[in-house]
């Protein structure tokens, strides 16, 4: 194959790739985009604003709920006229990652949060969507008790905020696939 044939072949590949990319660009809709751009589209952000999020028990539940409200309401308070209810069942587990052999205690641990959630319409107990999300955050244990306790709390807060982002992304994706 001569040099001219190689450059021609490369040009054809690039042109084909550009045409295919342009054709596929019309197949995707932005998750938080304007629904009027694509016919039949749905604005996930508007649907998220209609979610009511009841209290979740425990300190981690409070952090998770506050972050969910912040993410779904755009920083505002609770939904004015909710059409759906997002209920989250939260479970937490702490797992040792590294062991201090001299002290016989873990020197690094991870906090695992699992949030199983359901969405129901207001006034209707039937579950219309169900999902699960997982988040983890690690922390180091030290000989100083106060520092270790604070590290646990901060890891739990980081995991709860990460879990909230994951749940909101999953719910927004579900809303985007639903007909108007």
Please report the pLDDT score of residue 32 as a whole number.
55
Quick one: which of 34, 113, 32, 35 has its CA closest to 74?
32
Count CB-CB contacts under 10 A for residue 82: 15
Question: Per residue in 114-163, pLDDT tens?
Answer: 999 999 999 998 999 999 999 999 998 888 889 889 999 999 999 999 99
Answer for the pair 18, 11: CB distance below 8 angstroms, yes or no: no
Residues 40 and 22 in one domain: no
- Tens-place pLDDT, residues 79-108: 788 899 999 999 999 888 887 777 677 788
Tell me how many domains the chain contains: 2
Residues 16-30, mean pLDDT to the nearest whole number? 65
Half-sphere exposure of 148 (CA within 13 A, CB side): 10
Same domain for 87 and 20: no
User: 80 and 26 in one domain?
Assistant: no
Tell me: do 36 and 9 sit in the same domain.
no
User: 10: domain range?
Assistant: 1-30
76 and 159 both lie in a single domain? yes
Q: Same domain for 14 and 43?
A: no
Kindly state whether residues 23 and 36 are assigned to the same domain. Answer: no
Q: Same domain for 36 and 23?
A: no
Same domain for 43 and 8: no
Residues 23 and 43 in one domain: no
Indicate if 10 and 78 belong to the same structural domain: no
What CATH number does the domain containing 135 carry? 3.30.160.150
How many CA atoms lie within 13 Å of 73's alpha carbon, on the beta-carbon side?
17
């Amino acid at each position: 194959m001569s040099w001219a044939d190689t450059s021609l072949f490369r040009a054809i590949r690039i042109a084909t790739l550009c045409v295919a990319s342009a054709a596929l660009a019309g197949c995707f809709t932005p998750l938080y985009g304007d629904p009027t751009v694509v016919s039949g589209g749905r604005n996930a952000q508007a649907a998220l604003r209609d979610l009511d999020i009841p209290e979740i028990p425990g300190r981690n539940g409070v952090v998770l709920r506050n972050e969910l409200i912040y993410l779904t309401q755009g920083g505002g308070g609770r939904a004015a006229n909710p059409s759906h209810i997002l209920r989250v069942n939260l479970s937490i587990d702490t797992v040792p990652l590294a062991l201090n052999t001299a002290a016989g205690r873990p020197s690094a641990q991870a906090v695992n949060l699992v949030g199983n959630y359901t969405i129901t319409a207001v006034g209707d107990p039937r579950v219309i969507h169900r999902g699960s999300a997982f988040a983890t955050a690690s922390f180091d244990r030290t000989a100083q008790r106060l520092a270790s306790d604070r590290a646990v709390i901060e890891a739990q807060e980081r995991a709860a905020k990460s879990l909230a982002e994951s749940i909101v992304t999953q719910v927004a994706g579900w809303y985007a696939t639903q007909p108007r």
